[in-house]
Every structure is written in structure tokens, then in C-alpha cells.
Amino acid sequence: MSAGRPARVRQQDATVLARKVLELERKLTFENKAVAGGLDAFLRNLMKSEGVPASLRDAVSSLPPGGYGSLSAAARARWISGALGAAGTPARRSAPTTPRVVRPDVPTGIEAPVTVLRGVKEGLAARFENLGVRTVRDLVYLFPRRYNDFANLRPVADLKAGEDATVRVRVWDAHEGQLGRIKGTEADVGDESGMMRVVWFRQPWLAKQLKTNADIVLSGKVSIYKGRPTLENPEWELWETGEELTHTGRLVPVYPGTAGLTGRTLRRTTRQALELYAGLLVDPLPEELRGRLDLMDVQQAVRQAHYPDDQDSIARARRRLALDEMLPLQISVLQRRAAWRKPGSADGIAIEQDVLDSFLATLPYKLTNAQHKALGQLRDDLAQDMPMSRLLQGDVGSGKTVVAACGLLAAVVSGHQGAMMAPTEILAEQHYRTLCALFGADTTDGPVAEATPQYLDRPLHIALLTGSLRASHKSQLYERIESGEIDIAVGTHALIQKGVSFDNLGFAIVDEQHRFGVMQRAELRSKAGRAAHMLVMTATPIPRSLYLTLYGDLDVSVIDEMPPGRKPIETKWWPPEHRQDAYEFLRAQVRTGRQAFVVCPLVEESETLQSKAAVQEYESLSTEVFPELRLDLVHGRMNAKEKDAAMQRFRAGEADILVSTAVVEVGIDVPNASVMLIEGADRFGLAQLHQFRGRVGRGAEQSYCLLLSESPSMEAQQRLRLMESTTDGFKLAEADLNMRGPGEFFGTRQSGLPDFRIASLLDTRLIELARSEAARILEDDPGLAKPEHAALAREAARLFELVTGEVH
């Protein structure tokens, strides 16, 4: 708090608060529930405050060593009466001596509904509810969006047009007036330096409140009207000597708006809530941590977050409160990690160097340095008897599959099974084929292939398990997986169905993680009798701040280098007037024997609408634009079989152009497709455009990405230019995240991401701080059993449940 604040205020604060608490305790029939954690902790704190009257101090010291909590109900009632007297309230004459039953469903203290506040009736409460505010605590945690800096009062004569200013003036005359066609209030005001005009549109009733000769403070943007300085719709407040200004004259909080709640009302109520209830907040952060990191305590932080002394206090308060949100999340993330990392709970699966070398020698290329590094990390982890949880991140085409294959080989060599799960049938099949090719197996004989590589002393069996497999085949396959005959099982969700059980699963891979939830990851793992090592592969570049949060329980390997000889995809945004040129460009490419994808604009409303739009696009392209070419179509309303069939036809070269909605699966490999045309490109996020673009550029030919957009906004044009200028997925993801926020970034709101009030998922430094502090706390107190960690433990458990759906 500011050094200049008079002690009188603080004295009042402490005593008023004590009185409130004591009264509440009486109301709650002396059950020691008026404050979270019990009255004794509150009283101990109270004794540390300045300005507590001696009589009240005496009352507190009269308690037995066990404190208020150790008293009988009758003794509590007597003590409260006495203490209330000492705090300046006449004790109620007929204080009940035996506890009454209170309705347990009426929350009290800071959890009380906002209607306990003065001037908050049902109507207002409903509007607060629109802001997610139900209880006083919610209100205390409803932080300003920004602050108007009204700290410096200015003489009227110095005001200049266009500046934000605050003035202290006297009202000469205020009257209801017709402002153009709108009713409002007009006022002439002035100070010793000059006169000015003030108008409030749509607020004719203000005229009555602005009494002639009243002193008021006004804040707003200055304009000059008929040569006179003017303020339109300024914030205003009566100036009463000695009283702190709530609405003007300092850093004024500006809250998120909602219909029917004025800034004035919000400030009046937050002010009141803070005065009466902030003192009840129990600090969730241990004192040691606060001291070491030089953090404000929670009560000071919430006060400063609303009514800051200066800009620096805003930053400090918000940082502290952001840590309150981020620290429990990181604790829960690390707990999730620790839950897996039990030494001895998994089999180490090691692979000898010469076996690995002979496998690598069969490849038509050498691993890139980045692949080598990722492989090294993978091998080190797999060799441990503690289950690995690793995220393998690499842009589309960076060569994640072969690294994963090395891990599968390690599993097989060490006598275990391996599994690889993909989000769609076509991707699963693609992986199956790729793995068969890598290990030299022939895929012609259906869902099981056999290889006899020279680096293995026995044959290797690879199986493909998908939902479309016939039931009889499926049950056969189940048996072969269960008996251990199948070494590597590739599949879709079908892999985690009930009937599937492995003989000895040692290593499981999940591809394209963002399509699976944390739960499915856990399910695949649970298919192993003992814990399996787990590798999650993703082509979505996830900025560090976000994976520390979303995938924070995983270690991360990044393949940040493309195999040599790749030609970067050329991306070009074609303005609307050049649409025909883009089509001609595509036609010319197809004439040289290439194939093209056309992605239809995103229709947010529904998949049905989006599919309809795709059908229309397909029809107009086939009849009007490319009547001489062969077009095919996939969209979300087709079933999996139809979709797969269309994509197979395209892969087999039976169509020149594949028109699709955004559902066309990432990762599909059609080397001959070298043109990607994206309609309505401005509607997609950068990360998503980059994913689309990654579907071409898989062959030796130069590939192109054409972006079309009817009327992109300035911001959209900026994004499209960024697409043209870089092929760095991380750069694009970072920009995307900054421009659109994490919810949008993932296309839909990703479950498992808590809604933060203050902390930002983009604040890497904060997240890293929370991470290291979480590690420190857990090292010192793995079970979070210490009393100073109780609040953190509770919040971490809540988040753990939110993210995993499990109760920790």
C-alpha cells in the first residue's frame, strides 16, 4: 500500500474486519467457520495488524492456549460477545448459548453471494452472473482489463485536444439538454484557471446529481468545441475532501463490460468487496516462496490489482496473482509426470549399437543431425526401467517415422511388442506400409506382414488393426496380438478397444497427438501389463510455453531440421482480382502431370454447412473452371470408408484435383501432389494453413501453395504475407498464438486448458518460473502434506482432475 496512506484508515480496516468476522461467527452459531482455516489463524494475523484496540487485544489474549477452537459452544458464545464489545459493538443482549443448526447450503464469508454487498440486489446480481461473478470471491477475482492513468490533475487552461486528462472542477450549471437528436446532460464547469464544457450523452438524469457549486473530478479525452475545451462522457466523481477517489484521480480500473453494468457500479462494488472481504483471503503461496521471490501477499495483490498505487504495483500484483494460477497447474503437471515415473515399473528396452547400425544401413538415406539427436534421447529413455513419456515434435516431412521405427525395433529386439496409434484409418494404413517398407516386409498379404531382416535372428510380424477390419479377421488378430506373435501393431482407436490385449507391450507410439486426448494416451499405455514407454508424435509446432502446460508431463524432442534436398514450398497469396491467374497456374501444373488439393473455406457454423459448401465448390470447379480435368471430393459428412476411398483414388492418380473440406487428414502422403490451393485462406489460423501446406512438397518436384481470399482484413493480409515469407512452423505457431489466443489456436477449445483470469499461456517466463517453483515444492514435500502447501495441494488436485478426468 502507499506509504502516504494515513494510519487511521488501516486501524479502521483491522477493527472493522474483526467486527465483521466476529459478527459472522455469531451468525454461524459459533461453529468456528467464519473464516477459512478457523478463527484462531485469523486472530493471530489480527494481532500483527496495527491499530487494533487494546481491549480487543486483551480479549484475544484471554483465550486458552488451544485457542477459540478449543472452547465449548457456550464458551465460544461468551467469548464472541466479549470480543465484539471490545471491538466496539455492543454485544447482543440475547446471544444464543447453544449452537443453532445453520443451513449448510448458504455459503458465508468470502464465498457468500454478491448480494451480501450493499446496493447489490437480485437484478444487479444477474448482471454480475453474466461476467461469471456469483460470489464475493468471484468479484474480488474479477480483475480490470486495463487502467486509466488519472494520477495527475491538470488545470483546465492547460488542456489540449486529443489528450487524456483529469481535472478537478466546480459545477457552475448542469442541465438536461438535447444533444443533437440525443438527450443528455450538459454542464459548465471550471477551476481557477478557466471554464470548460462537459456533455454526457444518454444520461439526462445526471443533471440532477450535479449540484451547482459541487466539486467534482472528471477524467476523459479532451476535445475542443467552439473554442472551448470539452469532455464527452467523462468518468466523474464527487470530490470529497480526505476521501480516496474510487472512480477518478488515480489509476482507475476498467473492468470487462457487460450490458447493464456501468464502470461506476463495478468500481463501487469491487471497492466494497475489497474493503470488507479481501482481509479474509488466505494466502495460497508459502511465506518462504513469497519472501524469496519478493512477491506481494495475496491480500495486497488483489487490492493493488484493482486499485493500484502506481504502474509498478500493477505489474507486481498481476505477476503474483498469475503465479497463483500457474503454480498449482505446474504442480499438477509434475505430479502427473511423477505418477508415471516410478523406477522399476517398466522394462528397460535397450538396443545394441550394431543392430541399430545395420537397420540404419538399410535406409536409402542418412539420418539428419536432428533425427540423430532425437533418436539418442529416445534410446536413453527407453533403456531405463522407468516409463518414458516423450513428445516428438517435428514439422511435417521432418522424418519422425523412422525415428519412431528405431524405437519399435528396440522393443522387438528386447523381446517386447510395439504399437503405433494414428487418428484415422488412412494414416494408420500409411504408417503400416511405411513400417513394412522400413523393415522389409511385404504388405500384399493383408493386415499382417512378415519380415525377415538380417539384423534380427527371427521373423518380424507387423499387423494393421482398424475398425473396418472384418470381425472374423479382427478376433484372429486379437489372438495373435495377445499371444505375442505380432511384434508391432499399427492401428487406429481400434487398438485401445476392449478386446485388445497385448502379451508384452513395451513401447507405444501415438501419432498426431492433438487429435487424441490425455485419456486416450493413458488408455493405450494401460494396454501394457506393466507400464509401457510412450512416444507422442506431433507435427503441430507447439510453442514452449504451451507444451510446458499442455504436455508438461512429457519430455520433448524436437526435429528442427528437414532432410536435405527438399525444395521449400513456394507460397503465394493471390488477391481477389487474380483468382483466374491462380486457377491457370494450377491448370498448368496439372498439365505437367502433377496433382492438386483444393481446400474449401471454413464454415464455422456446422460441418453440414461446410460439407455443402464443399459440394458446391466441387461442382462449380468441375463444370465452370476445370471442365477438362478429373475432380474428386471428400468432406466431413462422408463416412470413413467413403473418405478413405476418395483419398485412395487420389493417391492412385485417378483424380487430378481433390476438393476437400478442412477434414482432409494431416500427414497423408501423396508425393505426386504438388499444388495446394486454399480458398478463404484468411479464415484459417496460420498453424492450420501450415498444416495444409505440409500435404504437398513430399516429392522431388517444386511444390506450391496458393492462398485465395475474397476480402481479407488488414490483419488477415498481414497473416497471409507471413505465410508467404516463412516456412518455419514454430515461427508461424508463435505468431498464431499471439494473434488468436490458445483456444482458437487449437481450432476448438482444448479441454484440459483451464481458464485463467490473469496468467497468460503465452508468458513463457512465468510458466518457467512456476515450473521450477513447482519442482522445488514437490522435492521438499512430495505429498504436499505440509500445512503451508495445503491450498496449493487443493488447487493442484482440482486441476489434475480437470485435465485427466481422474481423481488424484
Count of CB atoms situated within 10 Å of the CB of 92: 12
Q: Which does 279 bind (CB under 5 to 8 A by kind): ligand ADP, Mg ion, none?
A: none
Task: Check binding of 440 to ligand ADP (CB under 6 A).
Answer: no
Question: What is the distance of C-alpha 477 from the center of its chain?
Answer: 41
In whole angstroms, the minimum distance from the beta carbon of 694 to ligand ADP comes to: 7
367 interacts with, out of Mg ion, ligand ADP, none, CB within 5 to 8 A per kind: ligand ADP
Binding at 39: pick from ligand ADP, Mg ion, none (beta carbon under 5-8 Å per type): none
Distance CA 276, CA 271 (A): 9
Binding mask 520-559 for ligand ADP (x = CB under 6 A): -------------------x--------------------
Q: Which is nearer to ligand ADP, 174 or 402 (CB)?
A: 402
In this structure, are residues 408 and 432 in contact, taking their beta carbons and an 8 Å threshold? no
396: contact with ligand ADP by CB under 6 A: yes
Helix axes 518-526, 790-804, angle to 10 degrees: 80
Handedness of CA 742, 746, 748, 754 (dihedral sign): negative
Contact (Cβ atoms closer than 8 angstroms) between residue 173 and residue 187: yes
Summarize as ranges the residues that interact with Mg ion (CB under 5 A).
667
Is the Cβ of residue 402 or residue 769 nearer to ligand ADP in the bound state? 402
Cβ within 8 Å of residue 259, ≥6 positions away:
127, 130
Q: Which is nearer to ligand ADP, 269 or 368 (CB)?
A: 368
Query: Least distance in Å: CB of 316 to ligand ADP?
Result: 44
Using rule CB under 6 A, residue 673 touches ligand ADP: no
Residues 741-800 that bind ligand ADP (CB under 6 A): none
Q: Which of 204, 279, 308, 394 binds ligand ADP (CB under 6 A)?
A: 394
Per rule CB under 6 A, is residue 664 in the interface with ligand ADP? no
Q: Are strands 555-559 and 389-394 parallel, antiparallel or unpaired?
A: parallel
394 binds, among ligand ADP, Mg ion, none (CB under 5 to 8 A by kind): ligand ADP
In the list Mg ion, ligand ADP, none, the entry touching 144 (Cβ below 5 to 8 angstroms by class) is none
**Residue from 249, 387, 397, 506 that binds ligand ADP (CB under 6 A)?**
397
Minimum gap (Å) between residue 764 Cβ and ligand ADP: 25
Give bridge partners of residue 199 from the DSSP assignment: 186, 232
Beta strands in 266-413 (DSSP E): 389-394
Q: How far apart are CA 769 and CA 548, in angstroms?
A: 11
Decide if residue 423 touches ligand ADP (CB under 6 A). Answer: no
Q: Which of residues 691-730 bind ligand ADP (CB under 6 A)?
A: none
**Nearest-angstrom CA–CA distance, 554 and 505:** 20
Tell me if 393 contacts ligand ADP by CB under 6 A.
no
CB of 251 to Mg ion, least distance (A): 51
Considering only residues 135, 398, 414, 703, which one is a binding residue for ligand ADP as defined by CB under 6 A?
Answer: 398
Residue 396: CB minimum distance to Mg ion, A: 7
Q: Which of 180, 233, 230, 228 is nearest to 206 (CA)?
A: 233
Of residues 285 and 542, the one with the C-beta less far from Mg ion: 542
What is the smallest separation between the CB atom of 396 and ligand ADP, expressed in angstroms? 4
> How far is it, in rounded angstroms, from Cα 693 to Cα 705?
6
- If the CB atoms of residues 82 and 563 are measured against ligand ADP, the closer one turns out to be 563
Residue (315 or 361) nearer to ligand ADP, CB: 361
Residues in the chain: 808
Residue matched to cell numbers 462449380: 620
Smallest gap from Cβ 533 to Mg ion, in A, equals: 19
Type of residue found at 6: P
Which partner, Mg ion, ligand ADP, none, binds residue 368 by CB below 5 to 8 Å per kind? Answer: ligand ADP
Interatomic CA distance for residues 300 and 10, integer angstroms: 13
Residues 348-377 that bind ligand ADP (CB under 6 A): 365, 367-368, 371
Distance between CA atoms of 209 and 510, rounded to whole angstroms? 67
**Rounded distance, CA 434 to CA 418, Å?**
15
CB closer to ligand ADP, 135 vs 368 = 368
Determine which residue in the list 165, 302, 402, 735 makes contact with ligand ADP, applying CB under 6 A.
402
| Residue (667 or 712) nearer to Mg ion, CB | 667
* Angle at which helices 298-306 and 263-277 cross, to 10°: 160
Q: What residues have CB less than 8 Å from 142, skipping those under 6 apart?
A: 131, 132, 133, 255, 256, 266, 270, 757
Judged by beta carbon, residue 274 or residue 438, the one nearer ligand ADP is: 438
Q: Cell 511423477 appears where?
A: 338
Residue 723 CB partners (closer than 8 Å, separation 6+): 571, 573, 681, 686, 689, 690, 693, 705, 707, 732
Among all residues, whose Cβ is closest to Mg ion? 667
H-helix or E-strand containing 482? helix 471-483
- Residue 82's contacts (CB-CB under 8 Å, 6 or more residues apart) are 59, 62, 91
Closest contact distance (angstroms) between CB of 401 and Mg ion is: 5
552 vs 667, beta carbon nearer Mg ion: 667
Selected range binding ligand ADP among 180-188, 251-259, 397-405, 620-628, rule: CB under 6 A: 397-405
CA distances from 427 to 156, 464, 563 (A): 71, 11, 21
Contact between 453 and 363 under an 8 Å Cβ cutoff? The reply is no
Quick one: 236 or 516, whose CB is closer to Mg ion?
516
Task: List contacts with ligand ADP (CB under 6 A).
Answer: 365, 367-368, 371, 394, 396-402, 539, 563
